[in-house]
Chain A
Amino acid sequence: MGLLGFEKLKDYLLIANPAEEPFGWLKAKGDTSIAFLVLNPFLIVPDYRPDIPEADVQFLGLNSVDDAMLLNIVTVHKGGQATMNLKGPIVINRNTGVGKQVVIANGADYSVQHPMLVSEGAA
């Protein structure tokens, strides 16, 4: 597992708190200051079609689309606006728990800060 800019951190916990669904948290093991808010990207962009490069498919040991779980990092901005990184999804092999942040091959089609519709006043 690795995130761009955080290469030294390899172990993360994926935390799903029922009260916070559908959001989840990716927390670095052993460094409590590192936590990322993550979300299933298809909830935000139903027609999202990220191309996962073959080298990453092999590294993650993915044998079928069903093996892959995608979680994209959400940034909460000042004022409560939120964006999602569609260019660098975190792809996790459901069977092994191995994951990495993938730079998708069709990244030019997607933004690192895709605006998310949020209602006024955060939950």
Chain B
Amino acid sequence: MLILSRKTSESIVIDGRIHVKIVRVEGEVVKIGIEAPADVPVHRHEVYEEIQRNNQQALVRPAVPLPKLITPKNKPTAAPVLKGIKS
């Protein structure tokens, strides 16, 4: 692993297009700013691990019987919240 020392407000550049900046250090918490192109997904590692593990587990083997659903009686009313867009 490459290890670099940086001070607050200093940054590093990866591949000429991904900028990682140390925004603030508060005790044990480091605030990091990341600027990356839209096609480069950035995730917290533990969340990424959890979801990709679930994806692996969800991979369907052939001929799996579909679960018989019991859906709630009330009709769906909710919608996603799109950040930056008024619903």
A interface, CB within 8 angstroms of B: 2-7, 20, 22-23, 25, 34-37, 40, 42-55, 57-59, 62-65, 68, 70, 73-76, 80-82, 85, 87-89, 91, 100-101, 103, 105, 107, 112-113, 116-119, 121-123
Q: What is the size, in residues, of chain B's interface with A at 8 Å between Cβ atoms?
A: 40
B78 at the interface (CB under 8 A from A): yes
Q: How far is the CA of A37 from the CA of B39 in the complex (A)?
A: 25
Instruction: List 28 interface pairs A-B (beta carbons < 8 Å), by A numbering.
Output: A3-B55, A4-B55, A6-B52, A7-B41, A25-B60, A36-B58, A37-B60, A37-B66, A44-B71, A46-B72, A47-B78, A49-B79, A50-B81, A55-B38, A57-B84, A64-B85, A73-B54, A73-B58, A75-B54, A75-B57, A76-B64, A76-B65, A85-B51, A85-B55, A112-B54, A117-B71, A119-B70, A121-B68
What A residues does B55 contact at CB under 8 A? 3-6, 36, 73, 85, 88, 101
